[in-house]
Amino acid sequence: MGTEDTSTPRHEHALSSVTIRFAGDSGDGMQLTGSQFTTSTALAGHDLATLPDFPAEIRAPAGTLPGVSGFQLRFSGDEVFTPGDDPDVLVAMNPAALRANIGDLKPGGLLILNDDSFKQKDLDKAGCESDPREDGSLSAFRVIPVELTRLTRAAVEEVGIDNRSADRCKNFFALGMVYWLFERSMEYTEEWLAKKFADRPLLYDANRRALLAGWAYCEATELFAERYVVPRAKVEPGLYRNISGNAAISLGLVAAAHRSGLRLFYASYPITPASDVLHEVAKLKNHGVISFQAEDEIAAVAAALGASYSGALGATCTSGPGMALKAETMGLATMVELPLVIVDVQRGGPSTGLPTKTEQADLLQALYGRPSETPTPVLAASTPADCFGMTLETARIAVKYMTPVVLLSDGYLANGAEPWKVPEVEDLPSFPAKFVDEVDGFLPYARNAETLARGWAVPGVAGLEHRVGGLEKQETTGNVSYAPANHERMIRLREEKIARIADDIPLQTVDGVESGELLVVGWGSTYGAITAAVRAARAEGRAVGHAHVKYLNPFPKNLGEVLSRFEKILVPEMNLGQLALLLRAKFGVPTESLTKVQGKPFTEAEVSGRIRELTTRGTKA
C-alpha cells in the first residue's frame, strides 16, 4: 500500500509492472531525472531495468527533434528482463520530446506534458504543423498538461534565483510528480541534492523546493484520478546496488587485478559508448591501477600489450571503429602470446555510424578481423550486471592461456542498468598469475602440456633474457624461423591452444524446454528480450527453449548437441545474421534469423511475434 497517506483519499491501482519514459531536451536533465527515479525505485524494492537514449550531439539546438534525450525504466514485482517495450507513462518536456516519443506510448497511457512549452515558436522548432494538444492526435491517451515552467518558478521564487536557473529545476518538479504517482519516497533524492549542491546552497534549496512542490501539486489537485502501486519484487536476499554495464566492466577489471595478483594497466582512447570505463577506472588509483589515456586507439592497445610484457594485466576498452584500429596489435599479442583484455562496447556502424546507439554487428570482426590465422577467444555479456562476471572471465582466460581475449558488450548494456547483488570477494574466481622463475632450461616458447600456454617471463629476472616479436617463432625456442613446416606447426598450435579453452568453460545451458519445437539462440544484450519472450511462449504451452551463448569462441563443447535437440532454430541478432552464419558453418544446422539494425534493442513483442509464427500453441504450460 505504499507510503503513509493521510490526506485526500485516492484510488490505488495495482499493476504488476510499469514502464515509464522521461523525454526532453538534452539540456533538460532527463538522464538525471531517470537515474534518480531508478535508484528510488530500486530502494523501494522493485526489480528493474533501464535504457537511456540520448543524441550523439552534446547539445543539439534546443527544442528540436535531434536534441531529444530520453530515459526509459521498467520496474516490477516480478523479475524484469528488459526496460520494457512501449511505455505506460510518458513525461514530455516539450513538443519535440512529445513528437519523438508519442508513437511508442501505449494506447490509454498516461502523458504528462509541460503545458508552458507549447508556444508557437516551440511548435515550429519541433516541426509541428498544429498544436498536438488541440488537433486530436492525443485522443488515445490520458493527457495531463502541467504548467511546469510557471509552477516551478513559483515554487522557487523565495530562493531568489533568476528565471533561467529556476527553469533548470523543472525536471525536479516533474520528478516530484512522478514520485507521488508511484508513491516513492523522496528521501534518496533529497539526500542526493544535499550532497550534490553542498557548496551551492541556493541551488540545493531551489531544486528541493521544486521536487517537493511537484509532489504537493499532485497531492493538492485532482490531477490524477489514481495512484499506482506495484508490488515489491521477490528477489534473493542480500546487498544490492544498481549497476550499468560500463560500471560493471570497470569493477570487473579491478576485481580481475585483485584476483590475479597483477597490477591493472588500463589504456584507452575516448570513444562512445566505452569512455565511461576509462572514467571509472581512472578513479580507482588507490587500487594501484594505472589508467593511461593514449594518443589513439592503436597506442592504447599497444601500451596495454607492453604492460603485459612487463607483467601487468594489460586491458583496453573501445568500440567497433577502435577495435578495427587495434587489430594489428591484437595479432601481435596472438603471436607473442601475452595476456591482453580487449573490450568492445559495440555501437551502430559501419564507420562512425550511430555512435550513441546499440548494435551487435562486431561479432565477425571480433572473431576474424585480423590478418591470417589469428584465433582469439571471444566472450559476450548478456546483461549490465553480467558485464562484471564476464570481464573477470575474460581476464581469467587471457592470463591462463596467454592470449588476447575479446569481450563484447554494446551500447544497450553499457548505459542500461539493473540491480546487482553485490558478490562476496571470496566467491569470485581466483586465478593467480604465475611468472616463470626457473632459469635452468628456460625456453620462451615451451608450453604447458594441458593448456598449451607458454610461460610468462617478465623483464627484470636475471637469466631469463629473451626476445619476442611478430616474426614467426621456432617452436619452444621462440627464435625467428622461416621454416615452412615450423610455420604450419605454430599456426596449428595457436589454433589448438584456443580450441582447448572449450574444456575450461561451462557447458551451454537451456532455459525452457530441453528439446522440442524451437530453440531460440541468442548472444549478448538480446538476453532480456529473448528470455521474456520465451517465458511468455512457455506460458502459452509452446515447446520453446532459449540458449544464450556467452562463449562465441570457442563455443561450449555441447552446443552442437543442444542445437540438434530442436526442430527449428531461431537466432535473433542486432545485425544481419552473424551468429546464425557461424552456427550454420560450424554445425551445419538450418537457422531462422530475426534481425534488427535500428540502433535500438529488440522489444519483447518482436521476439514473441516470431516465436509464435514458428511454433504451435500447446495445451499445457
Partner 1 sequence: MSTLTKKDFQSDQEVRWCPGCGDYAILSSFQTVLADLGIPKEKFVVVSGIGCASRFPYYMNTYGFHTIHGRAPAIATGVKLANPELSVWVVSGDGDALSIGASHLLHAMRRNIDIKVLMFNNRIYGLTKGQASPTSELAKRTKSTPMGSTDAPFNPMALALGANATFVARSVDVIGDHLRGVLHAAAAHRGSTFVEIFQNCNIFNDKAWVSWTDRAVRDDRLVDLVPGEPVVFGSAERRRGIKLDGLDPVLVEFEGDPPADILRWDPSRPDPSLSFLFAHLDQHQDFPLPIGIFRQMGATTYEDRVYGQLDIARQTSGPGDLQALLRSGTTWTVE
Closer to partner 1 by CB, 309 or 555: give it. Answer: 309
Q: Is 483 in the site for partner 1 (CB under 8 A)?
A: no
Q: Is 32 in the site for partner 1 (CB under 8 A)?
A: no
Q: Is 56 in the site for partner 1 (CB under 8 A)?
A: no
527, three cell numbers: 538476453
The pairing of strands 110-114 and 89-92 is: parallel
Smallest gap from residue 31 Cβ to partner 1 (A): 16
Residue 456: C-alpha distances to residues 190, 307, 443, 486 (Å): 52, 12, 11, 22
Smallest gap from residue 44 Cβ to partner 1 (A): 9
Distance CA 450, CA 453 (A): 8
Q: Is 187 helix (H, G, I), strand (E, B) or coil?
A: helix
**Residue 126: alpha-carbon gap to chain centroid:** 30
Q: Is 427 in the site for partner 1 (CB under 8 A)?
A: no
Q: Which residues in the 332-351 window bind partner 1 by CB under 8 A?
A: 332, 336
Q: Is 182 in the site for partner 1 (CB under 8 A)?
A: no
Taking CB under 8 A as the binding criterion, the range among 17-25, 213-221, 278-286, 491-499 that sits at the site for partner 1 is 278-286
The pairing of strands 516-522 and 544-548 is: parallel
Identify whether the C-beta of residue 166 lies closer than 8 Å to the C-beta of residue 206.
Answer: yes
Counting residues that bind partner 1 (by CB under 8 A) gives 69
Smallest gap from residue 354 Cβ to partner 1 (A): 28
Q: Is 487 in the site for partner 1 (CB under 8 A)?
A: no
Closer to partner 1 by CB, 42 or 80: give it. Answer: 42
Closer to partner 1 by CB, 10 or 263: give it. Answer: 263
Identify whether the C-beta of residue 412 lies closer than 8 Å to the C-beta of residue 360.
Answer: no
Say what angle helices 201-220 and 148-156 make with each other, to 10 degrees: 120
Backbone angles phi, psi at 130, to 5 degrees: -140, 170
Smallest gap from residue 429 Cβ to partner 1 (A): 13
Smallest gap from residue 180 Cβ to partner 1 (A): 21
Identify whether the C-beta of residue 523 lies closer than 8 Å to the C-beta of residue 399.
Answer: no
Give ∠ CA 251-253-256 in degrees, rounded to 5: 110
Contact map string, positions 246 to 275, toward partner 1, x by CB under 8 A:
-----x--xx--x----x-x-x--------
Q: Is 236 in the site for partner 1 (CB under 8 A)?
A: yes
| 20, 23, 30, 42: which one binds partner 1 (CB under 8 A) | 42
Q: Which residues in the 110-169 window bind partner 1 by CB under 8 A?
A: none
Backbone angles phi, psi at 487, to 5 degrees: -60, -45
89, three cell numbers: 507513462
Taking CB under 8 A as the binding criterion, the range among 65-73, 287-295, 501-509, 548-556 that sits at the site for partner 1 is 287-295
Sign, CA dihedral 162-165-171-175, equals: negative
Give the bridge partners for 387, in sequence order: none
- Contacts with partner 1 by CB under 8 A lie at 39, 42-43, 45, 188, 235-242, 251, 254-255, 258, 263, 265, 267, 284-290, 292, 294-296, 298-299, 302-312, 314, 328-329, 332, 336, 422-425, 458-471, 479-480
